[in-house]
Amino acid sequence: MFGAAPKYDRALTVFSPEGRLFQVEYALEAVRRGTLAVAIKSKEDVCLAAQIKIPSILMDADSIDKLFQIDEHIGVAISGLHADSRALINYARVQAQSFRLTYDEPVRLNMLAKSIADMKQMYTQYGGIRPFGCALFFIGIDAGGTQIFTTSPSGIYRSFKAYAIGTGEASAREYLIENYKEEMPFEKIINLALNALKDSIDEEATKENIRMAYIKGETKQFHMCNKQEVEEFLTKLT
């Protein structure tokens, strides 16, 4: 892909003879090269686990963000360019709060995902700009039940029961296909997410390089796990 058709990737709005937009494909490649994130839902609960890369021993690992809270009932993981992700996360937070102020109820995740996807698609059709080089991986519990949504740099958004994005996504998805069942309790979906992550990354999973969050059906509140909780979940793995 890279360098194969240089005259077609110099402008965002120029299609190749095969009908491809290379700038959008480059953005998708940035997502695939991001660190791995795995989300799984059951009928009652939903969880999110993600790897972070610590590029230098001099860096404070606590300053590396991979998971973010959007609203009380919605969280997100990012894959790809962090700066692009941060801009979209701020936009998503504004949309969620604007919905609350307008309708006096929490935003539905499918509506929020569509809003983000619409914004991304706009950045694939005008000259002088570039696509967002990131994917947002949402989890939430709303009036429609437990939810997992992804948004692609191309503007596509999809709902899943279990999914993985980032480096090692193919291996993680294969593991999920083989082991996922809808009727799983909270502890099982946590274990499945961590096992899928451990099976697909190139380093040992520890409390330092794994981030976790979940939403339980009984509270419907997004909870970001601290290092002690992550360590406890890792030690309970079977």
- pLDDT of 152-172, one tens digit each? 999 999 999 999 999 999 999
Give the model's pLDDT for residue 6: 61
Residue type, 138: F
Measured CA to CA in angstroms, residue 46 lies from 30, 144, 231 at distances of: 26, 13, 19
pLDDT at 2: 52
Q: What is the pLDDT of residues 47-67, one digit of tens each?
A: 999 999 988 888 888 888 899
Query: Of residues 9 and 45, which shows the higher confidence score?
Result: 45
Q: What mean pLDDT do residues 89-116 have?
A: 96
| pTM of the shown model | 0.92
By the 8 A CB rule, do 32 and 167 touch? yes
Q: Sorting pLDDT into bands at 50, 70 and 90, what band is 182?
A: confident
CB 171 within 8 A of CB 138: no
Provide the percentage of residues in the chain whose pLDDT is more than 70: 97
Q: Please check whether residue 217 is in contact with residue 146, taking contact to mean a CB–CB distance below 8 angstroms.
A: yes
pLDDT band at 178 (very low <50, low <70, confident <90, very high): very high
What mean pLDDT do residues 225-235 have?
95
Domains of the chain by range and CATH?
A: 19-26+33-235 (3.60.20.10)
| Burial of 186 per CB tally in 10 Å (0-12, 13-18, 19+) | middle
pLDDT at 3: 53
pLDDT above 90 covers a percentage of the chain that reads: 79
- 46-51 and 37-41 as β-strands: parallel, antiparallel, unpaired? antiparallel
Which candidate, 165, 172, 98, places its Cα nearest to that of 138? 165
User: Which pLDDT score is estimated for 54?
Assistant: 86
Q: What is the pLDDT of residues 191-215, one digit of tens each?
A: 999 999 999 998 898 999 999 999 9
Q: Residue 237: pLDDT band by 50, 70, 90 thresholds?
A: confident
- Residues 122-163 have pLDDT tens digits of 999 988 889 999 999 999 999 999 999 999 999 999 999 999
